[in-house]
Structure 1
Amino acid sequence: MKIVDARVIVTSPGRNFVTLKITTDDGVTGLGDATLNGRELAVVSYLRDHVVPLLIGTDPHRIEDTWQTLYRGAYWRRGPVTMAAIAAVDTALWDIKAKVCGLPLYQLLGGASRDRVRTYGHANGRDIPELLDSVRARLAEGYKSVRVQTGVPGLQTVYGVHAGTAIDAAQLDQRALPVVEDWDTGAYLRHLPRVLEAVRSEFGPDLPLLHDAHHRLTPQQAARLGKEIERYDLFWLEDCTPAEDQRGLRLVRQHTTVPLAIGEVFNTVFDYQTLIDEQLIDYVRSAVTHFGGVTPMRKLFDYAAQRQIKSAIHGPEDISPVGMAAAIHLDLAVHNFGIQEYSGHTALTNEVFRHAYTFDDGHLHPGEAPGLGVELDEELAAGHPYVPAYLPVNRLQDGTLHDW
C-alpha cells in the first residue's frame, strides 16, 4: 500500500478548519485536523509546500517512522505550525490503518478502558445572573460538569464571555483586525470568589466546577487565587499562569491544593517535563491537533501516568470534528483519562464533517465506525471558503498588551 495523493482542504462553516486528506493506491482515505486558529494559512502552506511532497509514494502503515521523519527531518523542530501539520498527517495515517483493519481507532490503541467519556461544557455570562442561567442551560443539555466564566465589573470584553461559536460578523471584512479585550487583574481577583460563591449557593457542593484563568496571572497572583478559592472545591483551575516558565508552577503548587490543568498551548512533551516530573499539575491539556497527533499524545499520557496526572484534551470549537474524534478515541482507550472539554460545533459544521461520535447524558462515545468515524463532505465544504479571522488580543487599562 502506498500514498498516492494528499490534499489540504480549507473550509469555514462558521469558523475556519484545515483538513488533510490522504489517499492510498487502494482507495482508502484518512483525515487529519491541522487547524491553527488565527494562523490557519501558515499550516496550509507548510503542508502543501513542504510536507505533501514527502508523503507521496510512502507506506501509510509506517506511522511512527513518518512522524519521526517529519519531526526530525525538518531540522527546525517544534512550534505550533510544524506540530499542527505533523498532527494532520499522523491522525490521517491512524485513520487509514484503522479502516484497513476494519476497526474503530480506539481498538488499535488497546481497546476501551471505559464505557463512555466524561465531558464538561462551558457556561458564561456578562454578570452573575446571566452565568447562572447559562449553567442551567448546560445542565439541561446533559452536562455533569461545567466550566464557569463571567464578565468582570468595570471591564467591557472578557475572555470566555461570548454569544456563540461562529466567526464574528466584523471579521467578514477581510481588513478586520483582532478584537481587543480589556483586563484588570485586581478586579478579576476580587470578583472571581464572588462568582464561585454564587454558583455554589445556587447549585450546591456536588456539581463539578472548572474555571479558566487563561494565562493571565503571575505565579504569585495564581498562588493567591488558588488559596482563596480552595473552599469552593473546584474540579480544576486552568492555565492559571503562562507555563512556558514551568518552574513558576512550583510557587502555585506550594500555596494551594486546587487541582491545576495546564497545556493547551503546548506542542511537545518538552513543554511538560518539569510539570510532570515534579507533579506540579494534575491534568495535561494539549490537543491532538496541536501536539503532533495521536502518536505523541498517547506517549504524553503514558508519561503523565507515572506521576498520577490525568488527561484532559483541549476541545474548543476551533478543533474540527476530525480532531475531536481523535481525542475521543484516545479518551476511551487511555487508563489515566480525566475529562474531555466539549463545546460542540454548529449544525453546519456537523454537516460538513459527518461523524460517528455521539454526545448523550454528558458523555461522548466515538462510535464503532472503522477509523476515526468522520467523513468530509467536500462539495458542501467548498461552498464555505476561508474567512480571514483572528483570535482576540488583550490590553490592560493603560493600553499595555497582556496575555489573552
Structure 2
Amino acid sequence: MTTISRVETFLVAPRWLFVRIETESGIVGWGEATCEGRSETVRTAVEQLAEVILGRDALRIEDHWQVMTKGSFYRGGPILSSAVSGIDQALWDIAGKHLGAPVHQLLGGAVRDRIRVYGWVGGDEPSEVADHIRAQVEAGLTAVKMNASGRMSPLGSVAELDGVVRRVAAAREVLGDDRDVAVDFHGRFSLATAKRVAPLLEPYRPFFLEEPVVPENSHLIGEFVRSTTTPVSTGERLYSRQEFLPVLQAGIAVAQPDLSHAGGITETRKIAALAETFDVQLAPHCPLGPLALAACLQVGFATSNHLIQEQSIGIHYNEGAEVLDYVLDTAPLQFVDGYIERFTGPGLGIEIDEQAVRRADEKGHAWRGPVWRHTDGSFAEW
C-alpha cells in the first residue's frame, strides 16, 4: 500500500528543513522544504498541509500538488510554496522507490549522463574572492558564482563600481579562459546602478548576471536585459510559472527556480517547459541541503534545456553541518571533472542518514539572514 501514514519535519543545521513521509507499507520519502530564515514557519505550513494528504495515495502526486497549492482561497508565496516543495519532493522519492526507478526515469528518462555544477565563492569581502575560487577549482569545479558586491548604495559610487569590477577581474584571473564565473547582483542594486555596472563587466565575459533587480521589480528587468550583451538570470524568489512568465517575456537567458521554494519537482518541470518556449536555459537555485540538490539533479537529468546546477558542498557559510553530513553514501554527490554523474538509485537517488537527521533536529536551528543598513541608517538590501 502506498497510503500516506505519517508526515514529519526536521529542523537541521545549518538552516534547513527536511520532510519525511512514510507510507503504510513502510516506504519512506524525503524532501527539503527549507525557506532560509523562515523554516520554522514553513514547518507549521507542512503540518497543515499534512492534513490533506494523510490517508491518501502517495502516488497521486499531481493531484496532491493541485490540492495543496489551490485548496485554500489564499495561495502562493514563499512559505506555502516551500512547504509544498518539500512534500512534493518526498512524494516523488516515494514513487521512485515504489517503482524501483530514479525520479528522472519517471520524468521521461535521461537526456544527459552528467550535470555540470558550480559553487558559490562569496564576494561580499573582495579580499577573499581569489582564495575561495582557488579552493573550488582545487575541489574540481569548472564554474563558480560570486556576489558582485557587498552593501550597495542606491546610486553606486565610483569606489563601489570599481570594487565590483575588481572582484570580477580577480575571479577571471584565477579562472582563466576555460572556466566560468557567474556574477550575482543579489537584488542589492537599483536598476540605474545595475545598468551602469553591467557594461563594465562585459570584458570579463561573465557566464550570466543574476538577479539585477529585486523580484518585486520584475517589470523592470527587461530594461536591464537590453542594457547588456551578457546573459541575464533570475528566479530564486519566483514561485510559479505565472511569476516566471513576465521575466521570460522580458528576455532573460537563464531561469533559476529553487526546487525548495517553487513548488518542488512538479512545478519546476513546468517552469522548465515554459522556459524552453522562450529559448531560456534552466539553472536551478540550490545553496541548500542534500535533498534539494538531489531533487534538482533528478530534474536536470531529464530536462533538455538544463544548463548547470548550483550546489553548496563545502560552502564556507554552512556552519554547524555540511551537505554530506546527512547522507549515508556520499559517492553519488562526488564531483567528477566539474560534473555530478547521473544517479542510478531509486527515488531521489540518495540515502539519508535518518539518525543524524533526528539528532540534528533535537538541537534545531533559528537561522536568520543579516539586516544591513546604509551609512545614513536606512535599510539596505542583503
> Could you say which residue in structure 2 is the equivalent of 1:58?
56
Query: For the residues of structure 2 that align with 1:85 and 1:42, how far apart are their CA atoms?
Result: 9
Q: State the 1:5 CA deviation.
A: 2.1
Tell whether the 8 Å contact from 1:63 to 1:93 is kept in structure 2 after alignment: yes
Compute the displacement of 1:81 (Å). 0.8
Q: How does 1:23-42 map to 2 (within 5 A)?
A: 23-42=22-41
Query: Once the 2 structures are TM-superposed, how far is the Cα of residue 123 of structure 1 from its aligned partner?
Result: 2.5
RMSD over aligned Cα atoms: 2.0
Query: Would you say 1:10 and 2:10 are equivalent positions?
Result: yes
1:174-253 counterparts in 2 under 5 A? 182-184=151-153, 185-186=156-157, 187-253=159-225
Q: How far off is 1:137 after superposition?
A: 1.6
Deviations 1:242-266 (A, max 9, x none): 1322220121122111111101111
| Preserved contact between residue 4 and residue 57 of structure 2 (Cα < 8 Å) | no
Provide the TM-score with structure 1 as the length reference.
0.86
Identity %: 30
Contact 2:144 2:180 (8 Å CA) reproduced:
yes
Counterpart CA distance in 2 for 1:19 and 1:334 is 25
Deviations 1:12-69 (Å, cap 9, x if unpaired)?
Answer: 2x41322221112222111111111111111111111x11121111111111111001
Taking the aligned partners of 2:293 and 2:82, their CA distance within structure 1 comes to 14
Shift of 1:127: 5.7
2: CA distance between counterparts of 1:310 and 1:79?
A: 24
SS in 2 for 1:7: strand
Query: Structure 1 residue 119: deviation in Å?
Result: 1.1
State the match for 1:171 in structure 2: none
Counterpart-to-counterpart distance in 2, 1:252 and 1:141? 34
Stretches of 4+ aligned residues off by more than 4 angstroms = 125-129, 345-349
Q: Report the residue type matching 1:337 in the other structure.
A: H
1:336 aligns with 2:305: yes
TM-fit CA distance, 1:202: 4.6
Alignment of 1:299-314 (within 5 A): 299-314=270-285
Separation of aligned partners in 2, 1:36 and 1:129: 30
Answer whether contact 1:331 1:337 (CA < 8 A) is retained: yes
Unpaired runs of 5+ residues, structure 1, are: 153-157, 159-181
Residue 132 (structure 1) shift: 1.9
1:378 aligns with 2:358: no
- Written as runs of structure 1 = structure 2, the 5 A alignment for 1:214-293 is 214-278=186-250, 280-293=251-264
Contact 1:6–1:23 (CA under 8 A) maintained in structure 2: yes
Cα distance in 2 for partners of 1:128, 1:140 equals 20
Task: From 98, 110, 113, give the equivalent of 1:112.
Answer: 110
Change (3 A) 1:207 1:91: same
Greater displacement, 76-85 / 338-347? 338-347
In 1, Cα distance between equivalents of 2:266 and 2:375: 43
**2:326 aligned residue:** 352
CA distance in 2, matches of 1:237, 1:67: 32
Q: Show CA shifts across 1:310-349 (max 9, x none).
A: 0111110xx2211110001111110001111122157655
Please say which of residues 343-352 and 303-312 is displaced more in the overlay.
Answer: 343-352
Query: Corresponding residue for 1:162?
Result: none
C-alpha displacement of 1:234: 0.7
CA contact (8 A) 1:325 1:366 kept: no
**Residue segments in structure 2 that go unaligned for 5+ positions in a row:** none
- Paired with 1:79 and 1:216, the residues of 2 have a C-alpha distance of 21
CA contact (8 A) 2:152 2:188 kept: no
Q: Find the counterpart in structure 2 of residue 178 from structure 1.
A: none
* Deviation at residue 368 of structure 1 after TM alignment: 0.9
Shift of 1:386: 0.9
Measured in 1, the distance between the counterparts of 2:216 and 2:322 equals 36
